[in-house]
Structure 1
């Protein structure tokens, strides 16, 4: 059964393992740990297995900003990213929710589109030659 819950510190190693599977290292371990401690990390589960996670904060002009949505490669295209986004929209501490992805990340752009987010701007010069597209959705 699929469900989404807030992560707790006991989930840290599993979440870091999923992140490492995607990016190839554990460099974001401290960031993930702090997000869990702050209550800003939610996890998608299939039965008792963690298959993905979402991290957010409210430091983007006092709006919610989804900084990471990661689903394990073996569980992609099964609706987990959408499940995490739906949960975030229903529990967001602010009415405005933003996120972003690189122009080259077509699959994430499709996830945003399918979940009712729309493009709200572009930031150049973060990744050379691959602008960041900002997405927005309102809870209202």
Structure 2
């Protein structure tokens, strides 16, 4: 009975770690991941934006982000001279936590398997290394 209960608790905790946050709306600018909230706070650097309501509407250049477009997706164009926002690759974030560079990273419950993906530093709120499916994995929350 203890083994059954332990197995259930382990499975449910793994499921809870990976739940997607439906309130987060991801965005991209210059092929770097951010959030709509982040860009709304930086309106002075935004030249234009285009909102896509579903993954089916994404242009070919953004199809690789279809897995995070469940709540819609926004593409931003940054004004010339303002492209220097802090950015970091998910592989570099993994390295900071002594996690192998190719280990997927979870951001708000969305699994990013391509660790070469760049993210803006402004979306990195709370970061925590947790055991997920027997591997040390980085989980990122955009809220501070």
TM-score tier, shorter chain, comes to under 0.3
If each structure's strand is expressed as a fraction of its own residues, which one has the higher value? 1
- TM-score with structure 1 setting the length: 0.27
Highest relative contact order (Cα 8 Å, sep 6+), 1 or 2? Answer: 2
Answer with 1 or 2: which has the greater Rg: 2
